[in-house]
Amino acid sequence: MEYLAPRPGGIYVDATLGGGGHSRAILSSISPGGTLIGIDRDPDAIANASRRLVSCEARVHLVRANYSELPEVLDALGIQKADGILCDLGLSSFQLEHSKRGFSFLRDEPLLMSMDGDSSGMTAEELVNAAPEEDLAFIFRELGEEPHARAVARAIVREREKGRISSSLALAGLIHRVKKPFSRGRERIHLATQCFQAIRMSVNDELGHLARLLSVFPGVLAPGGRMCVISFHSLEARMVKSRFRELAGECICPPDLPCSCGRVARGRIVTKKAVKPGAAEVSENPRSRSARLRVFESF
């Protein structure tokens, strides 16, 4: 909230509504007279938040949409610019623990992993049972930074020849068996963590949607407004950092040559370095350990 700096009467977007924690904090700062637009691609998040986020002193619009469609969402509400946008990437605790969509490797659930909560897109089960070994290895290596990507992909292909892999626990068990001999009991996190993250990111095209959001947000951010992004993955963090640098007009030409990149500053980077959680926050909320906050302010 300190970085978003919401003020009474302003228009703010919580692009990742989730459990509504951030939205509640924004609402308490923008009342009276402000407007909150809460977006989530998950219909359960919208339904849960509708029950919790009632305000008599501010306008609240909760919209089921992808944040990559932010300009279209605002347009449909008759809003041209927002005074601030907050984006807290990834999965919510609710989705992990209660959605029954196979996000958790600790529960036996159908392998869906769709954040959209419907069957319109590809499911994790389809991906795991149909993708070529090469593609699975690429997904595990690139999105999961999984050191044993090839071995896990090969084991999945062998296993599915015997029968379909259709539950989260079956997949987690298989990954665990493949990785166990390499770990020698030194694992700090569950051995399936990185592969599950990679599958989820692929099924939901998370990097693709983030890329579009980063491309379109300057068009709907009012002068002086801030874009705050909390990322949990190194590829996401890199995308946010490099887009903010581009928007801040940072030249990318070699220092010994005249500038030819033609970048023009459209704002400034507020956080010279990513803001990280302190030790106390991590011990209270271990899931915050990899969170990185970056903030851009529009001219």
Ligand X SMILES: C[S@@+](CC[C@H](N)C(=O)[O-])C[C@H]1O[C@@H](n2cnc3c(N)ncnc32)[C@H](O)[C@@H]1O
Q: Does 10 participate in binding ligand X (rule CB under 6 A)?
A: no
Q: How far is the CB of 18 from ligand X (least distance, A)?
A: 3
DSSP readout, 227-245?
A: EEEEE-SHHHHHHHHHHHH
136 binds ligand X (CB under 6 A): no
If one asks whether residue 34 binds ligand X (CB under 6 A), the answer comes out as no
83 and 12 Cβ atoms separated by less than 8 Å: yes
Least Å distance between CB 21 and ligand X?
3
Is there a contact between 71 and 48 (Cβ–Cβ < 8 Å)? Answer: no
Nearer to ligand X, 91 or 175 (CB): 91
Q: Is there a contact between 30 and 7 (Cβ–Cβ < 8 Å)?
A: yes
User: Which member of 36, 45, 62, 124 binds ligand X (CB under 6 A)?
Assistant: 45
CB 114 within 8 A of CB 101: yes
Considering only residues 27, 30, 35, 40, which one is a binding residue for ligand X as defined by CB under 6 A?
Answer: 40
Please report whether residue 42 would count as binding ligand X according to CB under 6 A: yes
Neighbours of 199 (CB within 10 A): 27
31 SS3 class? coil
Q: Is 236 in the site for ligand X (CB under 6 A)?
A: no
Q: 282 with 289: CB under 8 angstroms?
A: yes
Q: Are 80 and 6 in contact (CB under 8 A)?
A: no
How many other β-carbons are positioned within 10 Å of the β-carbon of residue 125?
21
20 is a contact residue toward ligand X (CB under 6 A): yes
CB of 152 to ligand X, least distance (A): 25
CB of 112 to ligand X, least distance (A): 13
18 near ligand X (CB under 6 A): yes
Give the H or E element holding residue 47. helix 43-52
Per-residue mark of binding to ligand X, 61-100 (x: CB under 6 A): -----xxx-------------------x-x-x--x-----
**Spatial contact of 31 and 55, defined as CB atoms under 8 Å apart:** yes
209 binding ligand X? (CB under 6 A): yes
Which range binds ligand X by CB under 6 A, 16-24, 99-107, 160-168, 214-222? 16-24
- Name the token pair of 88: 């807290």
Q: By CB under 6 A, name the binding residues for ligand X.
A: 16, 18-22, 39-42, 45, 66-68, 88, 90, 92, 95, 115, 209
